[in-house]
Amino acid sequence: MPKRLPDRTKTSKPKLLPGEVFQMLMVYNLPHKWMSVSNYGRLFSHRRKVGRGVGGGRGTRLEYDPNYWLESIWSEEYQTRTYTDGTQNKKLTCLYKKITLPKGFFDGTLLADYDYHASSKDTFNKRITIHQAIMWTFRPWKNYPPKGIDPKVCQNLDPTLEQYLVMSSVINHKHHRPDKDNYVCIEDRSKDDLEYVTPSDNTKEAVKHYGGATYQSKELRILKEEKKENKKIDNIITLPNIINFLE
């Protein structure tokens, strides 16, 4: 997936894609008004620079403005696996972003002491992935728990327990394409690319998809490519075939 730089000249609300909706970003189960995310995974910041500033940006500050929309582009994270034959396979594992949160954002929660990645005296950074941003915002865990858990029993959970469950849940890419499967459908949940699963079910899905172990993903990809090439060759209509058909 090619990297796309944000257009710093556009700071108004973006044109919506078909069926796209923006909501305030949720971080675990806490609202973060500084950012908005869509069900397509597009992420925007509502903090703009104010003040004239003095050399090197000193004197400026970032101020929340709900009418200011600056796109934040997700970064790509890769994992490289080396095989016994010496070959390597570089695989994209997720799209992520380090977002800025105000000091005290997690006060009173399980992450009350999570502010050691400070970006200034008033803020700190937190790493999130695109699939987390989408699911936390549009598919609250208590309303869309893993299969086998009745949402009705999740409605009156203690906030601390709810946050623990959100933090410990796994998000599964249904089609195992972390660079593309980052979408939930507002009208039809069956069209979602993402879902909450238990760690056990996540492993089962990986085994089912990769045929036993994730390290086989390279071999399966090669086989699929070979099958596609062979199918193209089989579908070629050669001159002798045409002559035989005419006869």
List per-residue pLDDT tens for the chain, 247 residues long. 456 666 767 789 999 999 999 999 999 999 999 999 999 999 999 999 887 655 555 667 889 999 999 999 999 999 888 777 778 888 888 999 999 999 999 999 998 887 667 778 899 999 999 999 999 999 999 999 999 999 999 999 998 899 999 998 899 999 888 888 899 999 999 999 999 998 888 778 777 776 655 555 556 556 665 666 666 555 554 444 444 434 4
- What is the pLDDT at residue 246? 42
Do 63 and 47 meet the contact criterion of CB atoms below 8 Å apart?
yes
- What is the pLDDT at residue 79? 87
Q: Is residue 101 part of a domain?
A: yes
Q: Is residue 71 part of a domain?
A: yes
By the 10 Å C-beta count (0-12 exposed, 13-18 middle, 19+ buried), 198 is classed as: middle
Q: Is residue 146 part of a domain?
A: yes
Q: Is residue 65 part of a domain?
A: yes
Q: Is residue 6 part of a domain?
A: no
Q: Which range marks the domain in which residue 108 is found?
A: 22-246
- What is the pLDDT at residue 177? 86
Q: Is residue 2 part of a domain?
A: no
Domain count, the chain: 1
Measured CA to CA, the distance from residue 55 to residue 33 in angstroms comes to: 30
Q: Is residue 120 part of a domain?
A: yes
Indicate whether this model's pTM tops 0.85: no
Q: Is residue 16 part of a domain?
A: no
